[in-house]
Structure 1
Amino acid sequence: MISQLSWKIGGQQGEGVESTDRIFSTALNRLGYYLYGYRHFSSRIKGGHTNNKIRISTQPIRAISDDLDILVAFDQESIDLNAPELRPGGVVVADAKFKPQLPEGIDARLFAVPITAIAEELGTSLMKNMVASGASWALLGLPLEVFNQAVEEEFGRKGPAIVEKNVEAVKRGAEFVLEQAGGPLEAFALEPADGKQKLFMIGNEAIGLGTVAAGCRLMSAYPITPASEIMEYLIKKLPKFGGTVVQTEDEIAAVTMAIGANYAGVRTMTASAGPGLSLMMEAIGLAGMTEQPLVIVDTQRGGPSTGLPTKQEQSDLNAMVYGTHGEIPKVVIAPASIEDCFYDTVEAFNIAEEYQVPVIIMTDLQLSLGKQSCEPLDYDRIEIRRGKLQRELPELEPNVLFKRYELTEDGVSPRSLPGDKGGLHHVTGVEHDETGRPSENALNRKRMMDKRLGKLDRLLIPEAIRVDVPHERPDILIIGMGSTGGTIEEARSRLEQDGAATGQIQVRQIHPFPAEQLTPYLEAASTVIVLENNATAQLAAQIKLHCGHADKIRSLLKYDGNPFLPSEVYQASKEMSHVGHI
């Protein structure tokens, strides 16, 4: 028996690939397996090749696999594009309708199943995804009743007749392929899972859940890939807690509405991708100048412009750190796991209010949309901190304003809400004195700039850098951000087998940069490899700027729209560090 396996389904967008993957993975999750999914999809609503890949394991996993064990194909294009990933002895389950053929040189077993024909016999070709699912599930020798439960969950709202037909489609697909194969394939028999139920979600859902837990009650946003699932999640959840989602006419309206609602005291957020973040830049400056809390999620995708809207990239770092005109304090944090997406979202709201600054949560498409197993979340860790928000204020003398922008030792001023007695103050986007009244006085300008820019001097989020460096002086230190952590872990394991002493750091606080925490590890390592999905080494540039040691830093970049594979990181690390000679 084997401890892990990789399964992929491919076809044209709109053929049911997504629902097939969802049901297949839901059934595996019910059995207690750890799962890690990657969705490759076209930027069209319908048509264009799409595939979903799931890695299944009895142990925790946080990366897509290098190879592929089973491919389910609805067309020849899916075979041609994905068969090269198949390991020797792999399996292809394909619709007999298109007379499937394996490309030359592919060592795999092909099962041509009348997927469409069976579905049409049952009343509609739309059920071909269930026929295909049943066939591939049966080859693994997994219990069919668990799969049928997932089918019932997916289609139950459509009535028992629809559920019954889909269950029958699964059964016929399973029976056909088992007759062809002579029973389940022993080479693909998975070891039993632990049976424990695990959370199984995408990063966007975890961010949505964190948003609710943080006490946010309004999301203003405009739909955009790959951020829309946050909005879709909160549309369902926020009304249950007295909140709502407002779909605005564009991202400019979304961010300014969020600023206004936060000013009024409601915890509010917005979410977008690179193009939307660009439109928000002037308003982010407004939040910085007026010292309003603001939480923004940027789910990075391929750019510039429309770019590759459905593909992986990590190229917005510079925009998040430097994007606004003028100079304001802001915070950029980068979750590295599904759990981080939840906890960091809560922390983002706390930081935004404690320091009265914009906070940007930086994710990437793989982390945002890749569905993964995660351990149960600890809601006892949730803490709501509202900083210097003051609701009970002494009554002011006539014609005296509240010092909303008071010069304080820590740079954070007291904050009142509109309508609070004793909290009357002036607020605009121009430079101002302590009461908010416009001022162009040079000394006042310097004091206000110093106040704003100094308030983050001591900010350090929990695990600003996540460190796994077991060796005192590692030969190779690999640094990444966002979704790359699990891929680096697997590459490191292979490097250690080659005799290299390795370490790994995920940078989670991008700005202000945690130089003091990171620098000692740079000093101790022989070679530092910075891994990122962009073309201009933006994270490496931050490290060199704040920590130095440019002579030992090497950049490993990928910007073709795909995430890194463990084998790519392993091989490149060997070449960059000459680990083969160690």
Structure 2
Amino acid sequence: MINQLSWKVGGQQGEGIESTGEVFSIALNRLGYYLYGYRHFSSRIKGGHTNNKIRVSTTQVRSISDDLDILVAFDQETIDVNFAELRDGGIVIADSKFKPTIPNDTNVTLYSVPFTELAAELGTSLMKNMVAIGTTSAILDLDPSQYHEVVNEIYGRKGQQIVEKNMEAIKKGAEYIKEELGFNREDLFLEKADEQKRMFMIGNDAIALGALAGGLRFMAAYPITPASEIMEYLIDKLPEFGGAVIQTEDEIAACTMAIGANYAGTRTFTASAGPGLSLMMEAIGLSGITETPLVIVDTQRGGPSTGLPTKQEQSDLMAMIYGTHGEIPKVVMAPSTVQEAFYDTIEAFNIAEEYQCPVIILTDLQLSLGKQTVEPLDYSKIEIRRGKLMEESNLAELENKEYFKRYEITEDGVSPRVVPGMKNGIHHMTGVEHDESGKPSEAAGNRKAQMDKRLRKLMNIKFKTPVHTDTKHENPDLLLVGFNSTRGTIEEAMDRLENDGISVNHAHIRLLHPFPSQEMLPLVQAAKKVVVVENNATGQLANILKMNVGHADKVSSLLKYDGNPFLPHEIHTKCKELL
């Protein structure tokens, strides 16, 4: 029996590959297994190879596996593209309709199953994916009835007859591979899980849920891969809480609308990807100079321009920190797990209001769309902090003053804030430089005072865990540094390096700007060599580390920018070469 399994299903986009992975993984999650999934899909609605790779384990996993135990193929291209991942002793389960073949002289077994034919016997070949799930359940020694709850949830709205037909398809697949093909390999039977109830969700859903928990009541956005699920989730859920989502004509409108709603006192955000953030840059500057809270999610994908819209990359980092014209205070945070995506979204709203500045939640495609097992969320940790938002009772003493000092010079750089309509809270609101009451002013002394005031905010930013650290050694041979979704892959590579006798520490940066120099400096100083792991071509995080911490002679980059996420063996192998 095995306690961990790597399973992949592949075929042409539009023929049920995603639903196959969904039914399989949700059922296993409910049995108590930990899962980590990653979808490879094309930037078109139908056609083109797509696959869903899912890692199943009795213990926590946070990365894609290097190899593959089972490949379920709906066409020959799936075998050709993914065969190299199969481990020695792995198996291919393929639809006999396309007469599948595998390379000779390999210790991989091909099981040809008539997915399409068996499904057609039940009335429609569309259920071939359920037949495939049935074959997998038999191989893993799982009872097909354990899929009933999930099938009912997904297909129940089409009627119970459809549910029963799908269940029958699963049973047919299981019976065929056992009875017709005589499959009986206990080395692929999956150990029983602990049956604990856990969530199973993508990072985008966690961000949307975190926004709801953090008091969001309005979202303005334009759909774009890989951010659209945030908007889609909230379109469904936000009205239940008295909120609304507006699909705008473009990202410029989305960002300015979010600024306006925040100015009016409503917690609001927008979400997009690199091309959308490029369009928002002028508006982000407006948020900075008017000191209006603003939360934006940037789900990184392959660029530039349209680039690789459905593939992994981490190349927006410099743009998010330095993209706006002029100089404004800005916070850029980077969750590394689905759990962190939930809690960090709530904190983003708090920071945006406390420091009255734009806050960017930076994720990447692997984190945004990769589905992970999530431990139950702790709602008792949630707190809402609105900073220096005034109550009308606090404004009574201003009765005889002409204007409210919305941009008052303060020691911490944060001025008192009011929302429109508060008595005695009248002030100017403009995108040009202004004095304390908001009136336009180009006076040199005022300009310097207002700039200094705004930038002082960055000196006081409080973020609970700016760097996630795993430091087992005082003077390690190697310090591995990363951000966003590479965390689990780095952790797995660390264990392999340690087994090779190499001492390794790990720093995963969660607050990218203002950069946590004080936290990173002693870690860099202690290590003999520093390797920064990132999905881009120019080593953006490595360069930021050098700028803020120094010790450039110690820092090397491990880069991958072909659209695919890192695998543990790649980090393990490359680090050994660098040492």
Both proteins in one fold, TM over 0.5: yes
> Partners in 2 of 1:460 and 1:532 — Cα distance?
26
Match in the other structure for 2:566: 564
Q: Using structure 1 for the length normalisation, give the TM-score.
A: 0.98
Match in the other structure for 1:487: 489
> Partners in 2 of 1:153 and 1:191 — Cα distance?
26
Match in the other structure for 2:2: 2
> Partners in 1 of 2:527 and 2:498 — Cα distance?
15
Deviation at 1:149, TM superposition (A): 2.3
Q: Secondary structure at the match of 1:505?
A: strand
RMSD after superposition: 0.9
Q: Secondary structure at the match of 1:14?
A: coil
Match in the other structure for 1:82: 82
Match in the other structure for 2:554: 552
> Partners in 1 of 2:499 and 2:398 — Cα distance?
71
Q: Secondary structure at the match of 1:536?
A: coil
> Partners in 2 of 1:161 and 1:144 — Cα distance?
17
- CA deviations 1:46-88 (Å, max 9, x no partner) are 0000000000000000000000000000000000001110001
Match in the other structure for 1:115: 115
Match in the other structure for 2:262: 262
Deviation at 1:399, TM superposition (A): 6.8
1:10-409 correspondence to structure 2 within 5 Å: 10-392=10-392, 393-394=395-396, 396-397=398-399, 400-409=402-411
What one-letter code is carried by the residue in structure 1 that aligns with 2:84?
A: P
Count of equivalent residues: 577
Instruction: Give yes or no for contact 1:401–1:425 (8 Å, CA) kept in 2.
Output: yes
Deviation at 1:417, TM superposition (A): 0.5
Q: Among 446, 449, 452, which residue is 1:450 paired with?
A: 452
Q: Secondary structure at the match of 2:481?
A: strand
> Partners in 2 of 1:396 and 1:544 — Cα distance?
49
Deviation at 1:104, TM superposition (A): 3.7
% same residue: 67
Match in the other structure for 2:501: 499
- Which deviates further from its counterpart, 157-166 or 261-270? 157-166
Q: Secondary structure at the match of 2:315?
A: coil
- CA deviations 1:81-136 (Å, max 9, x no partner) are 01110001111110000000002444211111111111111111111111111111
What one-letter code is carried by the residue in structure 1 that aligns with 2:276?
A: G
Instruction: Give yes or no for contact 1:80–1:103 (8 Å, CA) kept in 2.
Output: no
> Partners in 2 of 1:369 and 1:163 — Cα distance?
27
> Partners in 1 of 2:559 and 2:299 — Cα distance?
19
> Partners in 2 of 1:540 and 1:423 — Cα distance?
46
What one-letter code is carried by the residue in structure 2 that aligns with 1:463?
A: T
What one-letter code is carried by the residue in structure 1 that aligns with 2:25?
A: S
Deviation at 1:397, TM superposition (A): 4.7
> Partners in 2 of 1:99 and 1:23 — Cα distance?
26
- CA deviations 1:291-350 (Å, max 9, x no partner) are 000000000000000000000000000110000000000000000101100000000000
1:522-561 correspondence to structure 2 within 5 Å: 522-561=524-563
> Partners in 2 of 1:109 and 1:567 — Cα distance?
24
- CA deviations 1:412-471 (Å, max 9, x no partner) are 000000000010000110000000000000000000000001111121311100000110
- CA deviations 1:508-539 (Å, max 9, x no partner) are 00000000110000000001000000000000
Verify: 1:460 aligned to 2:462, yes or no: yes
Change (3 A) 1:474 1:460: farther
Q: Secondary structure at the match of 2:553?
A: helix
Instruction: Give yes or no for contact 1:331–1:360 (8 Å, CA) kept in 2.
Output: yes
Change (3 A) 1:427 1:138: same
Q: Secondary structure at the match of 2:403?
A: coil
> Partners in 2 of 1:411 and 1:11 — Cα distance?
56
> Partners in 1 of 2:520 and 2:21 — Cα distance?
40
> Partners in 1 of 2:328 and 2:156 — Cα distance?
52
> Partners in 1 of 2:569 and 2:180 — Cα distance?
34
Match in the other structure for 1:575: 577
Match in the other structure for 2:436: 434
What one-letter code is carried by the residue in structure 2 that aligns with 1:92?
A: V
> Partners in 2 of 1:356 and 1:30 — Cα distance?
42
Instruction: Give yes or no for contact 1:111–1:180 (8 Å, CA) kept in 2.
Output: no
Q: Secondary structure at the match of 2:225?
A: coil
Unaligned stretches of 5+ residues in structure 2: none
> Partners in 2 of 1:399 and 1:439 — Cα distance?
19
Match in the other structure for 1:580: none
Instruction: Give yes or no for contact 1:2–1:189 (8 Å, CA) kept in 2.
Output: yes
What one-letter code is carried by the residue in structure 2 that aligns with 1:521?
A: L
Q: Among 409, 412, 420, which residue is 1:410 paired with?
A: 412
Deviation at 1:180, TM superposition (A): 3.7
> Partners in 1 of 2:103 and 2:13 — Cα distance?
22
Change (3 A) 1:57 1:314: same
Instruction: Give yes or no for contact 1:71–1:92 (8 Å, CA) kept in 2.
Output: yes
Instruction: Give yes or no for contact 1:404–1:413 (8 Å, CA) kept in 2.
Output: yes
What one-letter code is carried by the residue in structure 2 that aligns with 1:332?
A: V
> Partners in 1 of 2:176 and 2:143 — Cα distance?
16
Moved over 6 A (4+): none
What one-letter code is carried by the residue in structure 1 that aligns with 2:404?
A: F
- CA deviations 1:372-424 (Å, max 9, x no partner) are 00111100000000000002212645671000000011110000000000100
> Partners in 1 of 2:442 and 2:295 — Cα distance?
29
Instruction: Give yes or no for contact 2:412–2:460 (8 Å, CA) kept in 1.
Output: no
Unaligned stretches of 5+ residues in structure 1: 578-582
> Partners in 2 of 1:239 and 1:98 — Cα distance?
47
> Partners in 2 of 1:219 and 1:88 — Cα distance?
49
